Structure 1
């Protein structure tokens, strides 16, 4: 009866609950990822979290087998002397891996997910929100982006990398701050929009790099934010981008996030080299998300 009721509610809302694997590079006990975990589950999705045991920012696409812990996990979220991987004692959907971000995502795809999804793989990978932006050159070294690239390029699962300019680390059990809530609301809205656009969610070898601006007094209401299609690298000598807003050169994500107003950059990334995907793949995303995307004013 409960499952039937949930299905009815999702259909009424136009949403489609799917299997989502969450990961990040800031650690499994970081507040941003935990608040988003709750929001995605509350939106009707079947979400499993598999992330590093501690902060592993800036480790890109490194993937090394995990080893046992000698010290406690970040924020004392697991005891010293723990095994190489582990779960929350009361919630098996929250897992940690004592290694790099990509390794933690791989364990989610190969081990934790199938254990709880009757052998099935995730339908979407959501990485982040990262504590701090991932723009231009930072993309090459970002573990948050590395997870999305692993998912899309290595195992063929669509992926979104979220990052927020409001930084400063927060523990999972600390009072929930406004920025955590705002980023979780926005990431859930965007994730639902991608899902509602239909399968395949993304073109082959494409990830989405989404950067939120700082949460300020003017930018706390999710309805006040605008989503702008952007590019990762400047592209001075590259081929033209998809034509939108009357131009054939998309603004860089840095210029979008740095502009006045509550603007969010949405870049179509190439999973082969972590730069901007070509115009034909940008066009697919533009069409899928046309109802969400706006022009820079």
Structure 2
């Protein structure tokens, strides 16, 4: 189940599994009901906290780029027919603002293996259907005998974390609320990450009048708007198709991300105001 010969499993998945087991066993000792569900939540939050420095770097870069959007839009209009000159002017603007456009990508790339490992781990634990096989697979890769388990309690707040919302006809219509909530949370976070338009009403009117002339520029905005709807719908579909435990993980990850981004945005605004003074 957990291939120890796989480098990715050895570096990421199995260590994360052992952390999950440590939390799970601790909660079992405390006799907390729904130990696995709370373990998934605590592990997700822990990973988020570990990745916090990278997230700050990523969001700070995105914040600065958003602040430059009006100037970047002006450059795009000014040098619409000269891509080389446009790139040169954009680079100058980035240098003047002290921004490295790639700075926001690197933290995301560093986070991806951990996030993929989390997803794969929860998927393996909850999608197998054979708890005995899952337990045997887990016990083969534990770091300490204390982490070994005899069973896996899948019930959390009255729900079986292995059940899927797609089984709502057998299990109850309320399961459909899970993908809906998941999609709405994802939409909320996506909207928070979308640059706010700073154009004045006059500029907006000019843009409408010149819509035919600026089709290429509008395409980027249209794509961005489409993605703000498509991504939540896609995540919602995954939440509908996959076990509830994965939705629990994803929603915890998203809620923490929303709180984190909201707090960081306030910090960046305050930081930006202080720098202006």
Name the TM tier (shorter chain). Answer: under 0.3
TM-score of the superposed pair, with normalisation by structure 1: 0.22
TM-score of the superposed pair, with normalisation by structure 2: 0.23
Query: Per chain length, whose mean CA-contact separation is higher, i.e. which structure has more relative contact order (CA < 8 Å, sep 6+)?
Result: 2
Find the structure with the greater CA-based Rg.
Answer: 2
Higher helix share goes to which structure?
A: 2
